[in-house]
Amino acid sequence: MLFSSTFNYDITKKYSTMTAKAALCVALLRGDVVNIRTGFIDFGITNIPREISRMIEDESKDGFGVEVSRTPRQGKTRWGRASTWTDYRMNKTDRNLPGIEKMKAYVREQLDSQPAKTTQQVKKYQQIKMMFE
């Protein structure tokens, strides 16, 4: 297990200085499921499929070279219309270990380069840094 499941965070309210890429890395490293809705609400990323491919998977475009699993989902809108979406989760396999280490290093680097503005942010940054040490 990479991280404690009791750590709770809210990217949009507490990490205004964290980049979207770093916030996405934290979520994937924790084992969170990311989809188009959570990508927009939590990270401000409007096209999560493209950004997962570009920022996380594709090593040639500053990605980390990890494999992210895609789970197709189906449901209905509040008006009864059929809807489909995809859930993304990072696989914690031996093949992904080098990429996971790169992601952890990237998050540490981002936390050090962007100072927290409030004492609450300082505490949350310290908690995240402890997860990656």
pLDDT in tens, 38-89: 999 988 899 999 999 999 998 877 889 899 999 999 999 999 999 999 999 9
Query: Smallest Cα–Cα separation from 124: which of 27, 11, 6?
Result: 11
Segment 28-35 mean pLDDT: 92
Does the model's pTM come out above 0.85?
A: no
- pLDDT at 6 > cutoff 70: no
DSSP string, 15-62: -TTS-HHHHHHHHHHHT--B-HHHIIIII--S-HHHHIIIIII-GGGT
Task: With a cut of 50, say whether residue 106 has pLDDT above it.
Answer: yes
CATH (residue range 11-126): 1.10.10
What are the domain boundaries of the chain? Answer: 11-126
